[in-house]
Chain A
Amino acid sequence: GESVGLHLPTLSVQEGDNSIINCAYSNSASDYFIWYKQESGKGPQFIIDIRSNMDKRQGQRVTVLLNKTVKHLSLQIAATQPGDSAVYFCAETRWGSQGNLIFGKGTKLSVKP
């Protein structure tokens, strides 16, 4: 039979603007969260992580926000560049899970020059 893939949410932004990508995670027991970037034909690339005892963490041009009350993660990219165009996945895991990451559906970010 025909295989139907997921239709990814798409975010289209102008170069130089800020981007916000959202993710709802599934397990209230999850205590470690990671954002990955996946470019076409490549594996997931680590961007930033956050533990559940924090609600905000900043990296270079990226910020992750964690709201445990509503089980929500967001990734903010400042001054978005064409090289940021990719699919972005959030992933969650919990202590003792032996690295079993649960990935979200992904959001496709398109940056218009």
Chain B
Amino acid sequence: EPEVTQTPSHQVTQMGQEVILRCVPISNHLYFYWYRQILGQKVEFLVSFYNNEISEKSEIFDDQFSVERPDGSNFTLKIRSTKLEDSAMYFCASTTVNYNSPLHFGNGTRLTVT
């Protein structure tokens, strides 16, 4: 069964550094998402992406965040200058259509900012 894959599984970085989290969505999917989950808390929406542009973003997704689909397979989340509170699990998800269609999630990247 096709899967959403994310790399790395764990990323440790120092405060103020830039990080790029990588995702390979399921190949025939058209809509892509990033969510995050702070330890022990709810999964929270960050951003949705379709047709090479952001469709919707949450208040969390400020100017420090950006997304990109640099080629036909990868979907990346960049945090320009990490803060301690960015420490969380970051999940990539994808789906075929954006309405009444379940999102398929990857296993996440655990980001630790020290």
Query: Which residues of A does B touch, CB under 8 Å?
Result: 3, 5-6, 8, 32, 34, 36, 41-46, 49, 51, 89, 91, 95-106
Of the A-B pairs whose beta carbons lie under 8 Å apart in the complex, a sample of 12, sorted by A's number, is A3-B38, A5-B40, A6-B41, A34-B102, A36-B105, A42-B108, A44-B91, A46-B103, A98-B31, A100-B56, A101-B103, A103-B42
B42 contacts which chain A residues (CB < 8 A)? Answer: 6, 89, 103-106
Whether a CB of chain A sits under 8 angstroms from the CB of B107 is yes
B56 touching A95, Cβ below 8 Å: no
A98 contacts which chain B residues (CB < 8 A)? Answer: 31, 48, 50, 55-56, 98
Most chain A beta carbons < 10 A, residue from B31, B43, B55: B43
B56 touching A43, Cβ below 8 Å: no
Query: Which residues of B does A touch, CB under 8 Å?
Result: 4, 31, 33, 35, 38-45, 48, 50, 55-56, 58, 91, 93, 95, 98-108
A42 touching B41, Cβ below 8 Å: no
B108 touching A43, Cβ below 8 Å: yes
With CB as the reference atom, state the residue of chain A lying closest to B98: A99
B105 touching A99, Cβ below 8 Å: no
Given contacts A42-B107, A43-B106, A44-B43, contact A99 B38 (CB under 8 A): no
B31 contacts which chain A residues (CB < 8 A)? Answer: 98-99
B43 touching A100, Cβ below 8 Å: no
B50 touching A43, Cβ below 8 Å: no
A5 contacts which chain B residues (CB < 8 A)? Answer: 38-41
A95 touching B58, Cβ below 8 Å: no
With CB as the reference atom, state the residue of chain A lying closest to B42: A103
B39 touching A100, Cβ below 8 Å: no
A103 touching B98, Cβ below 8 Å: no
Complex Cα spacing A44 to B42, Å: 11
